[in-house]
Structure 1
Amino acid sequence: MSDITLIPGAVPLRDWRAVWLGAAPRLSAECRDAVSASAAAVARILAQGRPVYGINTGFGKLATVRIPDDQLETLQRNIVLSHAAGVGDPAPAGIVRLMMALKMANLGRGASGVRPETISLMEAMLAADLLPLIPSQGSVGASGDLAPLAHMACAMIGVGDVFLRGERMNAEAGFAKAGLAPLPALAAKEGLALLNGTQFSTACALAGLFEAERILQSSLVTGALSTEAAKGSDAPFDGRIHRLRGHKGQID
């Protein structure tokens, strides 16, 4: 299946369907400058020593707590690990692929502060069919799909389980077999950027749409074959009858 190029805000539905079916998406090269500029903005904030939420402060009620520079990577790691609390069966591979591709398109706008290499790892994982194990339950969709996206981020730093071409294993083994390496650490802001978003919910909605379309097409084929097998007449499908009826879509 051919690769898909993601242009944030301009990805046609057919491309999302292709990702759901197994196509490997890549972020448009046009996004690289914006992503790099966003990461550079985070670096400038750190160099200036200014307290900025999510970069060098705590989260939520701890927003006024300043985090020392030597603990910023630990801060991002901890928010990821603490939110990886999903339960239930693993989400289907198609939904996980969609979730990761949607997150790539979101980060590709250059407004989240992640480094280019973080997005590149997501591209490489999808190309290698190395997918995080995402529990199917655990998100309320309120402040984003925090738990599912936390499991994705965990895999990216070599924690938790993954599926490599459909085979379940721990992340360390999965990356080694795929010839890839996880991120050594998440930089300032990256953990928060990966967790915040509704990409899991959106992926589920897209998968539901594609399944409904597949069922509709199957029902049309089944109906046609059933009519043929029963030696039925095609006269009721005459377009002139339906134009007189005037019910939009009934003959489409």
Structure 2
Amino acid sequence: MTFDKLKPALLLGPLVLFLGLAYLVPFLGVMQWSVTLPQPGFSQYGKAVSDPLIQSVFIRTFRICLIVTICAVAAAYAIAYVWVRGTPAQRLVTELCILIPFWISVLTRAFGWVALLSNRGLINTWLQSAGIISEPLTMVRNEFGVVLGMTHFLIPFAVFPIASAMRSLDERVFLAARGMGASRLRIFWSIFVPMTLPGILGAGLTVFVFALGFFITPAILGGGRSVMIAELIYLRIFQSPDWGLGAAISVLLMLFVGLLLILMLRLVRPNRMLG
């Protein structure tokens, strides 16, 4: 085997080694906890599947993640459209709005939403002073605040695959449709959106997987009333403590994410999702 054929393996070797040490080894340790603590066996998996409390947390997590995915992808699509097809000034402003949130930590954003949405926050104070409402609106310590905070954080991650898909479109297709008498609205819904569908699927998958593992935002904006899977795992491991059950829930979550990725990759090729 020549050196040229070995180059890809040599270049990828350190990355594969790093990923194995950083992700695979800890995950194998968590799997070991799930079948050895507090005693050997698969009883913790049975408890994780049959416990009504854990079932309700899984259902709540999937519901919140689905709502967040729909909202984030819809907002990201509009932002990406302006970023790709807007005027130079619009593109510059949009690009700043996309990049600046990456410089702000998730913790700062979560407390910022608390300052805005709490009973004595800026929004309720302004609405009461304007006479629009007499009692403060409950916008935190519930699912509304969790969805809003998570959507705000995940929109930039959804913009990039959608924008990449939009940039790869052939403008001649739109010119041909325009020449055949199609309106702008007809071109958008019948041609533009279907051609960017792989980017939408990629953005949806990215947002949904990220949302499944959210911890800080639901913990702060949910206030313990909208517990999601990541927070439940934290409570089981660090406060109960019930390391075996927490590990079993973690493994089930990882298996679900893996199956979701496999299903998505079978439906859409990765290069199409990224444009």
State the TM-score, normalizing by the size of structure 2.
0.24
State the TM-score, normalizing by the size of structure 1.
0.26
* Greater length-normalized contact order (CA 8 Å, ≥ 6 residues apart): 2
